[in-house]
C-alpha cells in the first residue's frame, strides 16, 4: 500500500493566506468535485503528526456518569470565581489553551497548512471513501482548533467572527477549488460522501456542548470505531440526552442534522440513539419520542473557563537590592478553576471505577498552594 506521508512543519511549505469570504453555500458541482473519490484506491494518508499534537494539548475527561455537579461558590478574599457553573461543565474533552506556547501554536498552524495543501498534491480525489472522510474530518478539526487558538482567550465559540462572518461560515479554508468554510465540509461535502449519522460526532465544535475531540486523529482504519466511541460517550452524557423526564430533551445538534441524517424523524433518530444508549438513557428515551432541544452549551471547552491566566493570575512585589520594590506578575498554569475541573473529573473516574464501569484510574497529585502566598522567589 502506498502511503502519503504528511511531514509536520515541512520547511518548504508555503504559507497560505486564510481569507474570510461571504457565507455562501457550495454549488452542486462544487460539492460533487470535492466529494469525488476512487472506490478502488489503496492510497492512505498518515495522520500520526496530528495525533501527536492532539495528545499534547487534550485533557481527556472520560465518560460522563450523568451526575449533575453541585455549584461551587468561591468567596476567598477578593478573588473572582471564574468557574463554569454549567450542568455539563465536567463533560467533553478539553484543550489546554491557556498553557499553549508558541511551539504548540505553530505546530497546529503548520499542520493546518499541510492538510490544506494536501488536497492538491495528493490529490484527495484519488483516495477511497473512508480515506477521504478521514481527511475532511481532520481538516475541519485542525482548522477549528487553529482558529480558536488564535482567538483565545474567549468565553463562547458562537461569538467568534471573521470579517463580520461567523467562524463556521467564513471561507477560511484555502484548498484547490476553494476557498471553503467549516460548514461547507460539515453540511455539504461529508454528507455527499456518506449519510451515516455517526459522522456528526467527528466534527469538533470547540464548545462544551459538542462531541469530544478525540486525542487520536481519524484515519480509514479507525474511522468508524472512533466515531462509535465518541457517539457512545455523547449519547450517554447529559449534553447528549438530558435527564429531564417530560419532555425528553436532547442535543440541538440532532435537530440541526435532521435533514442530513434523520429524514424519517423521529424513527431514524430513535434507532440511532438506542444503538448507543446505556440502560439509564434507554429508560429516558422510552418515555416519549416527542423530543425537544436542550440548551446548547457554547462555552469554550478549555481548562480555565475562557481566561488566559484563569483565576490564578497574581501580583507579587520583589525587592531589588536596597532600592525600591518592583512589582511583577505571573500566570498560574493551574489556577483554581483548572484544579477544580481536574479534581471533579478525578472524583468521577473513581466513582465509575468503584462501580466497575471504568477499567483503570489515574490519580493526579494536584497542587493546592495558594498563589497569593507565593513570594515570587521561583
Mean pLDDT of the 289-302 span: 94
Q: Identify the band that residue 70 occupies on the pLDDT scale cut at 50, 70 and 90.
A: low
Q: List, in order, residues 6 or more apart from 256 with CB less than 8 Å away.
A: none
The CA distance from 239 to 87, in Å, is 9
Is the predicted pLDDT of residue 152 greater than 80, yes or no?
A: yes
**Which residue, among 23, 44, 29, has the nearest Cα to 192 in the 3D structure?**
29
Mean pLDDT, to the nearest integer, of 271-277? 97
Give pLDDT tens digits for 118-128: 988 877 889 99
Please report which confidence band the pLDDT of residue 55 belongs to, taking 50, 70 and 90 as the band edges. Answer: very high
Question: pLDDT value at position 343?
Answer: 73
Which of these ranges, 38-52, 69-83, 171-185, 361-375, has the smallest mean pLDDT? 361-375
Q: How large a percentage of the chain has pLDDT more than 90?
A: 60
- Please state, in angstroms and rounded to a whole number, the distance separating the CA atoms of residues 269 and 249: 13
Bridge-based pairing state of the strands 58-59 and 325-330: unpaired
Per-residue confidence band for 19, with pLDDT thresholds at 50, 70 and 90: very low
Spell out the alpha helix ranges (H) of the chain: 28-34, 48-57, 102-121, 129-151, 182-184, 190-193, 223-235, 252-256, 258-261, 267-276, 279-285, 336-354
> pLDDT confidence of 227, banded at 50, 70, 90?
very high
Helix (H/G/I), strand (E/B), else coil: 152: coil
CA 351 to chain centre: 25
More confident residue, 311 or 42: 42
State pTM to two decimals.
0.80
For residue 322, pLDDT over 60 is answered with no
pLDDT at position 358: 58
- Tell me: pLDDT of 333 over 60: yes
Q: How far apart are CA 51 and CA 221, in angstroms?
A: 14
- The reply to whether omega before 82 is within 30° of 0 (cis) is no
Cell 503548520 belongs to residue: 110
DSSP tally for the chain: helices H, then strands E: 12, 10
pLDDT in tens, 76-89: 444 444 556 778 88
**Cα(302)–Cα(94) distance, integer angstroms:** 5
Give the integer Cα–Cα distance in Å for 195 and 322.
73
Tell me if residue 140 falls in helix, strand or coil: helix
pLDDT recorded at residue 350: 73
Least confident of 169-183, 267-281, 296-310, 331-345: 331-345
Q: How confident is the model at residue 25 (pLDDT cuts 50, 70, 90)?
A: confident
Cis amide linkage into residue 179, ω under 30° from 0: yes
Better-predicted residue by pLDDT, 136 or 309: 136
Amino acid at each position: 500500500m502506498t502511503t502519503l506521508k504528511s511531514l509536520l512543519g515541512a520547511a518548504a511549505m508555503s504559507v497560505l493566506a486564510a481569507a474570510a469570504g461571504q457565507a455562501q453555500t457550495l454549488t452542486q458541482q462544487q460539492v460533487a468535485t470535492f466529494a469525488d473519490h476512487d472506490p478502488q484506491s489503496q492510497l492512505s494518508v498518515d495522520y500520526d503528526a496530528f495525533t501527536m499534537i492532539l495528545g499534547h494539548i487534550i485533557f481527556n475527561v472520560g465518560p460522563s456518569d450523568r451526575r449533575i455537579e453541585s455549584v461551587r461558590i468561591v468567596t476567598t478574599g477578593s478573588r473572582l470565581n471564574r468557574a463554569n457553573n454549567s450542568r455539563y461543565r465536567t463533560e467533553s474533552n478539553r484543550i489546554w489553551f491557556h498553557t499553549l506556547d508558541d511551539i504548540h501554536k505553530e505546530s497546529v498552524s503548520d499542520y493546518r497548512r499541510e492538510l490544506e495543501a494536501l488536497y492538491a498534491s495528493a490529490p484527495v480525489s484519488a483516495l477511497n471513501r473512508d480515506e477521504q472522510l478521514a481527511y475532511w474530518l481532520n481538516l475541519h478539526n485542525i482548522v477549528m482548533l487553529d482558529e480558536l487558538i488564535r482567538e483565545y482567550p474567549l468565553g463562547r465559540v458562537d461569538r467568534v467572527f471573521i470579517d463580520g462572518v461567523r467562524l463556521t461560515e467564513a471561507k477560511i479554508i484555502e484548498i484547490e477549488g476553494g476557498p471553503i468554510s467549516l460548514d461547507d465540509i460539515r453540511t455539504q461535502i461529508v454528507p455527499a460522501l456518506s449519510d451515516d449519522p455517526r459522522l456528526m460526532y467527528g466534527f469538533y465544535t470547540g464548545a462544551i456542548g459538542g462531541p469530544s475531540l478525540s486525542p487520536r486523529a481519524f484515519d480509514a482504519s479507525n474511522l468508524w470505531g472512533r466515531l462509535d466511541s465518541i457517539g457512545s460517550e455523547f449519547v450517554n452524557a447529559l449534553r447528549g440526552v438530558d435527564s429531564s423526564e417530560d419532555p425528553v430533551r436532547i442535543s440541538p445538534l440532532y435537530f440541526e442534522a435532521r435533514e442530513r441524517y434523520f429524514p424519517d424523524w423521529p424513527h431514524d433518530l430513535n434507532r440511532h440513539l438506542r444503538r448507543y444508549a446505556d440502560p439509564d438513557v434507554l429508560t429516558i428515551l422510552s418515555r416519549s419520542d416527542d423530543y425537544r432541544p436542550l440548551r446548547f452549551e457554547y462555552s469554550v471547552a478549555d481548562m480555565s473557563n475562557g481566561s488566559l491566566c484563569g483565576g490564578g493570575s497574581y501580583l507579587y512585589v520583589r525587592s531589588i537590592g536596597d532600592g525600591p520594590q518592583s512589582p511583577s506578575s505571573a500566570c498560574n498554569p493551574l489556577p483554581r478553576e483548572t484544579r477544580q475541573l481536574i479534581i471533579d473529573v478525578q472524583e468521577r473516574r473513581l466513582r465509575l471505577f468503584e462501580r466497575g464501569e471504568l477499567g483503570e484510574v489515574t490519580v493526579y497529585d494536584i497542587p493546592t498552594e495558594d498563589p497569593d502566598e507565593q513570594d515570587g522567589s521561583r
